[in-house]
Structure 1
Amino acid sequence: MARLGAWKSVGKWSRLLPAVLLLLAALIDLSTPPTVSAAALYAAAILSAAPLLSLRGTVLTGVFALFVDWMMFRYFGYRWSAIAISELIMVATVTVIAGFLNRVLYHRKMQLESARDIAAAVQRAVLPRPPDRIGPLRFAARYEAARLDAQIGGDLYAVVDTPFGVRCVIGDVRGKGMGAVRAVTVGIGTFREAARHEPTLSGLLERLEQAVVLEAQQSGNLTELEGFITCVLVEFPWRSNEVRLINRGHPAPLLILGDTVQYVEPSRRGLPLGLGALDAGSGCIDSMTFPDGATLLLYTDGLTEARDETGTFYDPTSTCTEHRYDGPDDLLDALLADHSRHTGGQRADDTALLVITHAPNNS
């Protein structure tokens, strides 16, 4: 985090670099013998303006460098010498090249911003923000991609209001790239459709299992046949202060109740989606009470497998117990800030988080 802050501070002052280089070049020309030239610094000032300033700023930097260089030759009495003319032509040529580079960088920046806008639109379509509240339940979610220029990867979450209760899922797709994104879309699409029609959580799990297996088979790639999705399915039945969970090879959720924070370990660990044929009993449902004020934190392993510079894994329980939070969003903000401090701002894996709080309707 400190390293990121340092680079941000440098970025704020980077636009002054061309002016600093021009000033340094002028000082060197004035303080050295006439045979010593700071032509390289004039060229460096103009070229540095290309990625840092606008086209007008780049051209003005070149014109000012040309003027200062000509004034130096005039000051030392070499106004129209061959050396002066050659150096001035060089400065003018660098100005033209810098202007061309400025336009190239500008158009690439526009293309990158367009790609980011498209990625953000895809994220909103595939992983929309959950509703703030459904009945007595409040929700908040975050997605942090491992790559700073990415918007979506292989983690997923969803919240669906169904006739059988509120159902949620969080998952992590094995692998990276477009294959993982495709698996996310298949998993989310199947969950949203099946959650509204399957009366039991076991039936919903079976639908997800079938969808993952079918996607792997239709991929036609033997390596993708080895793919799977770890996930936790959660159901909050109507008219009941209860939560039901099925854990298929995923990190255990955290239950926060007052000052108590504990991992909700499954009574029987199941294999990830896509591997259900190897374990006939992997659909075990665990139930527990979920009273007013309780909070359930669902997350992917990008949270708990993050390390600091000494190799120590991040433990979210301390953040969950140290402070009181006004709601799910406050808890996620605190978790991500603490997570970033722990890792120094570096992310090795995507991280998805979903928080559900049981709160009275007036809170």
Structure 2
Amino acid sequence: MGKRDGRRRGVAGNVRSRRFVRALPALMIGAGVVFDLVTPPEVTAVPLFAAAPLIAAPFFSLASTVRVGVAAILVVLAIRVSDGTLAKVVPVTDLLTLVTVAALSLVINRVVRRGNEQLASARVIAETAMRAVLPTPDDRIGGLLVAARYEAAQADEFVGGDLFAVADTPYGVRLVVGDVRGKGLDAVAAVAVVIGAFREAAEQELSLEGVVQRLERALAREGSRRGGLDSMEGFVTAVLAEIPAGSDTLRVVNRGHPEPLVLHADGALDVLAPTAPALPLGMGLGAWPDRSDEWTLPAGAMFLAFTDGLSEARDAKGVFYDPAARLRGRLFPGPDELLSALTDDVRLHTGGRSTDDLALLAVGRPARGQQERRTTVKIVRRDSE
């Protein structure tokens, strides 16, 4: 209930803000009328009237901005006619000033709307490119349950350097979760290199270590093509995992990435710390002696990998979010429910003030009962056919 109440308060606050902005030009005109009535004739309220179309320009449509400007001009004319000062020099100057400001507000409105249209177009193009590079995986791959999330730091953005991919290969299900240093289109280009190299290597390399080395070489080639990347600017933290078909073995290679977790069906939780720390991919320091660590992923358990947008999320007091502590002892029906609960929890922890994107990938091995039920359903359908 607390989360829902918080969201409702946030929505209500946004609605109130929009209503206030919509009413502000009329309030400025009304304040100008009151000011003119309570002050001597030589004191002008034109700044208040001029503020009305200027406020409307960036927020209103062109037609509404025109209406606000015309309304301000007509009110000033009416005031000057009623007090008999329209023919004097100062009221005429004030009126010309108001007309000029109203015309300028139309120009501002046009510039702002054109800029918004260009920004929206660029955002759509960037988001389309990102979704093409980083498609959401199927919810079932190689007999495993899969769920993925990409949470942007800004609600209206979908461009960054976080990545994930899952592939069903002859060697089992292989996956990668990574974080490219940087933002924007350069980060998207690096994501494309890593994802492309992973999909090819996952199908061809005999070992998970071989896949990692292919990613390393792909980043090196990209650096050479671009004239040499600074090793501290082009690196990628990544965790790669492999789950052989029909086995509860889980192999993991961690290259400078936050440690993934295994959540068991009874609420127990394992932090998959590497036996030997390793540098991120693309550091340009030569071949790294990769070695995978082996863990178990029994029936009903889930493997969870994430980027530092989760583990480094802070609350108002600067306390980091600890996914292991927050998830230990909790039970989830499946990967999708796990990620939904996790994103809600971290949003509650930060108060919606996330400063970094985050990518989440959860892979679950169905419990034996779930597997048997699915097999029965398939047999019934075949019999009915």
CA distance in 1, matches of 2:327, 2:311: 13
Does 2:300 correspond to 1:293?
Answer: yes
Does 2:112 correspond to 1:113?
Answer: no
Q: Which runs of 5+ in 2 are unaligned?
A: 1-5, 375-385
Does 2:276 correspond to 1:268?
Answer: yes
Sort the Cα spacing of 1:221 and 1:8 in 2 relative to 1 into closer, same or farther, 3 A: farther
Q: CA RMSD in A?
A: 2.6
SS of 1:202's equivalent in the other structure is: helix
What is the deviation of 1:280?
A: 4.9
CA distance in 2, matches of 1:38, 1:85: 13
Instruction: Render the CA deviation track for 1:302-340: whole Å, top value 9, x for unaligned.
Output: 211222232211112344247544433332233223223
Query: Which among 309, 326, 346 is matched to residue 339 of structure 1?
Result: 346
Instruction: Render the CA deviation track for 1:99-157: whole Å, top value 9, x for unaligned.
Output: 11111111110000000001111111111111111243222222234456642222211
What is the deviation of 1:33?
A: 2.5
Alignment of 1:91-130 (within 5 A): 91-130=98-137
Sort the Cα spacing of 1:12 and 1:133 in 2 relative to 1 into closer, same or farther, 3 A: farther
What is the deviation of 1:161?
A: 1.6
SS of 1:142's equivalent in the other structure is: strand
Map of 1:90 onto structure 2: 97
What is the deviation of 1:276?
A: 8.3
CA distance in 1, matches of 2:182, 2:347: 23
Map of 2:53 onto structure 1: 46
Count the aligned residue pairs. 362
Instruction: Render the CA deviation track for 1:26-61: whole Å, top value 9, x for unaligned.
Output: 121222222222100100011100011101100000
What is the deviation of 1:169?
A: 0.2
CA distance in 1, matches of 2:133, 2:287: 30
Map of 1:180 onto structure 2: 187
Sort the Cα spacing of 1:100 and 1:276 in 2 relative to 1 into closer, same or farther, 3 A: closer
Map of 1:15 onto structure 2: 22
- Work out whether residues 139 and 356 of structure 1, in 8 Å CA contact, stay in contact via their aligned partners in 2: yes
CA distance in 2, matches of 1:164, 1:279: 24
Map of 2:382 onto structure 1: none
CA distance in 2, matches of 1:48, 1:58: 9
- Work out whether residues 231 and 282 of structure 2, in 8 Å CA contact, stay in contact via their aligned partners in 1: no
Does 2:136 correspond to 1:138?
Answer: no
Map of 1:215 onto structure 2: 222
CA distance in 2, matches of 1:179, 1:290: 36
Map of 2:334 onto structure 1: 327
Alignment of 1:22-41 (within 5 A): 22-41=29-48
Does 2:155 correspond to 1:155?
Answer: no
- Letter of the 1:267 counterpart: T
Query: Which among 309, 318, 342 is matched to residue 311 of structure 1?
Result: 318
CA distance in 2, matches of 1:131, 1:96: 54
- Letter of the 1:57 counterpart: S
- Letter of the 1:337 counterpart: D
Sort the Cα spacing of 1:325 and 1:92 in 2 relative to 1 into closer, same or farther, 3 A: farther
More divergent stretch after superposition (6-15 vs 265-274): 6-15
CA distance in 1, matches of 2:38, 2:68: 22
Give the fraction of aligned pairs with identical amino acids, expressed as a percent: 45
Using the size of structure 2 for normalisation, the TM-score is: 0.85
SS of 1:196's equivalent in the other structure is: helix
- Work out whether residues 319 and 334 of structure 1, in 8 Å CA contact, stay in contact via their aligned partners in 2: no
What is the deviation of 1:166?
A: 1.2
Sort the Cα spacing of 1:59 and 1:280 in 2 relative to 1 into closer, same or farther, 3 A: closer
- Letter of the 2:77 counterpart: W
CA distance in 1, matches of 2:114, 2:329: 47
Structure number with higher relative contact order (C-alpha < 8 Å, ≥ 6 residues apart):
1
Map of 2:260 onto structure 1: 253
Sort the Cα spacing of 1:322 and 1:237 in 2 relative to 1 into closer, same or farther, 3 A: closer
Does 2:81 correspond to 1:59?
Answer: no
What is the deviation of 1:167?
A: 0.9
- Work out whether residues 307 and 360 of structure 2, in 8 Å CA contact, stay in contact via their aligned partners in 1: yes
- Work out whether residues 267 and 330 of structure 2, in 8 Å CA contact, stay in contact via their aligned partners in 1: no
What is the deviation of 1:87?
A: 2.1
